[in-house]
Amino acid sequence: MTIDPITLAVLAGRMEQIADEMDATLFRSAFNPIIAEAHDASHGLYHAETGDTLVQGKSGLPIFVGVMAFAVKAVIDKAARDGDLTDGDVYMFNDAHIGGTHLSDMRLVRPYFHQGVLFCYLASVGHWHDVGGAVPGNYNPRATEVFQEAFVLPPVKVARAGTLQQDIIDIVLRNTRLPQSAMGDLNGQLGALDLGVKRLDALLAEYGADTVREALDALSDRAETLIRAEVAALPDGRWEASDFLDNDGITDTPLPIKIALEIKGDHLSLDFTGTAGPAAGPVNISRGTAIACVYVAIKHIFPGLPANAGVMRPLTIIIPDRSLLAAEFPSPTGGYTETILRMIDVIFSAMAQAAPTLVVANAYGTINALSLAGHRKDGRRWVMFSFYGGGHGGSPEGDGLNHGNAPISTATIPPVEILEAAYPVMFRQWALRPDSAGAGHNRGGLGAIYEIELLEESADVFLFGERGRYAPKGVAGGSEAALNRFSYQQGDIWAQPEMTSKAVGIRIAKGERVRLETPGGGGYGPAAARDPAQVSRDVSLGYLTEGAADTAYGTAWRGVRT
């Protein structure tokens, strides 16, 4: 049977809608703002035998969907060993070395049966607010093993044949500082999986399992055909790029991330040989996370590609053993976001040499995971964890986005109103950061300034960031953006962390503040090519100070009316 194009398009839309509805269900029911407001979660459908991504939602994090293929495969392997897979089972785990990313991301995987036969897997992943460990919010830049980051849950059945296992839930809730939030998020994820089952039941009842299965196979094959055509249109050759992480939080030494990108016909090779070895601190990532990161970068470079595993077939990805891109248990992985952002940066920098019109300059390159935690006057624990935005890189089409979120996700920055309502803090400043964008024919986007005042008696402060010493790069002759900068009050003094972008052991008192000044994006193309009228406009809007404009672009903009 060969599926006709119209039916294929209809089924593709229907299946994508299932994943989108699962996303929406969790976003509307989760208790913690990182899921409910920031949308740090994702859902997808996965192959019954290989775990490969079949369909992903548009609203969730792309990095999650790619990594979840490895998580689903871990469940497939466990079910094969145990021999007890049943309709209604739900596996739950956060082990980053098995399922990728870090321990804050709780994964739920559910087999979907149709007429008693396993058809596919549904998966849900969401960033829980706190899962134990030494640091509230779990971004511990001083961790040297995963046990200092959070409790580690291997794949276990939180539901057996549709019956929740309360003993598993009790263990999980005992290992979090915020059990009510965790229970709310768990129920939200279970609800999303339930909805996915209902929608798949309706779809297969209407079209039949054979037709839907054929559509899934056809979509993967078409994805492969499309990416081969995209790659074949590029010049053959080999291009290299490198960049650095500031440090690993333990040893104040830069860590290189290198890539050699090679194109031969319709095949693309990405070789990360030369990248730093295993880190003592938590900037390691699992091999699965590294591969999923390549998937995200490829989707950025070729945005018209379908979102399934067929995209990866013409790619060779070389991740060296004994590197920080192939972490082994129990090496810490809490800061995985910073490492995959740098991977995307080097992929873009290498591709810019081969096909500069396909990429943008480096974005700001750090989520700046900032946690403030303490106790309220009545003794209740509070933990404010959030991530913060910065500028995106300039592109062939125009200036970079001001104050965007990281290119590893479609998550949003939690609104100031939500954060102030939920936690005893006041944002004294939330503004664009002048002079933070990389100069270029098309400049980068601006970073931001966040200044947060504590309203309770005291709080502990933790920061896990990057780009404090190595600025986001421009491409095609564009300039670097500003560095990341973090400072905090201690009485009348403003101090900076010894590790620049990472900090633990900071305590602030009522009325004291912390301040983040995030990087902008790199510039695209030579600054000399920028229209003086655009420079003049940036100065008039406060994006650039006059002195910075003169330094970056010369003085031709002076006297130009905008």
Which tokens go with 313?
Answer: 């077939």
Average pLDDT over residues 335-359: 96
What DSSP assignment string belongs to 26-70? Answer: HHHH-SSHHHHTT--EEEEEEETTT--EEEE-SSS-HHHHHHHHH
Alpha carbons 446 and 402: distance in angstroms, whole number:
5
Q: Which among 203, 201, 198 has a CA at the least distance from the CA of 11?
A: 203
pLDDT of amino acid 64: 78
Average pLDDT over residues 475-481: 97
pLDDT of amino acid 1: 56
What is the 3-class SS of 322-361, one letter each residue? Answer: CCCCCCCCCCCCCCHHHHHHHHHHHHHHHHHHHCHHHCCC
Average pLDDT over residues 237-256: 97
Q: Which among 467, 435, 464 has a CA at the least distance from the CA of 448?
A: 435
Alpha carbons 142 and 148: distance in angstroms, whole number:
8
Structure confidence by residue, pLDDT tens digits, 196-235:
999 999 999 999 999 999 999 999 999 999 999 999 999 9
Percent of the chain whose pLDDT exceeds 90: 87
Average pLDDT over residues 180-205: 97
Alpha carbons 236 and 358: distance in angstroms, whole number:
15
- DSSP character at residue 243: E
Lowest mean pLDDT of 94-98, 136-140, 474-478, name the range: 136-140
Alpha carbons 500 and 463: distance in angstroms, whole number:
10
Cα 23 to Cα 57, 150, 237, 306, 559: the distances in Å are: 7, 25, 40, 18, 51
Average pLDDT over residues 337-361: 96
- Name, of 158-162, 381-385, 410-414, the range with top average pLDDT: 158-162
Alpha carbons 42 and 56: distance in angstroms, whole number:
8
Alpha carbons 342 and 243: distance in angstroms, whole number:
7
Contact yes or no for 199/119 (Cβ under 8 A) = no
pLDDT category at 281 given cuts 50, 70, 90 is: very high
In this predicted structure, the answer to whether residue 482 has a pLDDT above a threshold of 70 is yes
- Pairing between strand 156-160 and 53-56? unpaired
First to last CA, the chain: 62
Q: Which of 145-183 are b and which e, b meaning 16 or more Cβ less than 10 Å from the residue's Cβ?
A: ebebbbbbbebebbbeeeeeeeebbeebeebbbbeebbe
Residue 44, strand partner residues: 56, 123
Phi, psi at 342, each rounded to 5°: -70, -35
Cα 241 to Cα 433, 473, 475, 482: the distances in Å are: 28, 11, 11, 20
In this predicted structure, the answer to whether residue 361 has a pLDDT above a threshold of 70 is yes
Q: Can you list the alpha helix ranges (DSSP code H) found in 233-286?
A: none
- Pairing between strand 315-318 and 267-271? parallel
Average pLDDT over residues 525-546: 97
pLDDT of amino acid 559: 83
Average pLDDT over residues 424-444: 98
Rounded to the nearest 10 degrees, the angle between the axes of helix 532-541 and helix 546-553 is: 160
pLDDT category at 309 given cuts 50, 70, 90 is: confident
List, in sequence order, every beta strand (DSSP E) within 133-245: 156-160, 163-164, 237-245
In this predicted structure, the answer to whether residue 552 has a pLDDT above a threshold of 90 is yes
pLDDT category at 67 given cuts 50, 70, 90 is: confident
In this predicted structure, the answer to whether residue 561 has a pLDDT above a threshold of 80 is no
Average pLDDT over residues 396-424: 89
Coil, strand, or helix at residue 149? coil
Phi, psi at 552, each rounded to 5°: -80, -35
Average pLDDT over residues 14-34: 95
Decide: residue 239, CB within 10 A, 0-12 exposed, 13-18 middle, 19+ buried.
Answer: middle
Average pLDDT over residues 322-347: 95
pLDDT of amino acid 65: 67
Average pLDDT over residues 5-14: 93
pLDDT category at 305 given cuts 50, 70, 90 is: confident
Alpha carbons 269 and 241: distance in angstroms, whole number:
14
In this predicted structure, the answer to whether residue 325 has a pLDDT above a threshold of 60 is yes
Structure confidence by residue, pLDDT tens digits, 511-522:
999 999 999 999
pLDDT of amino acid 560: 86
Average pLDDT over residues 107-112: 98
- Pairing between strand 485-490 and 458-464? unpaired
- DSSP character at residue 459: E
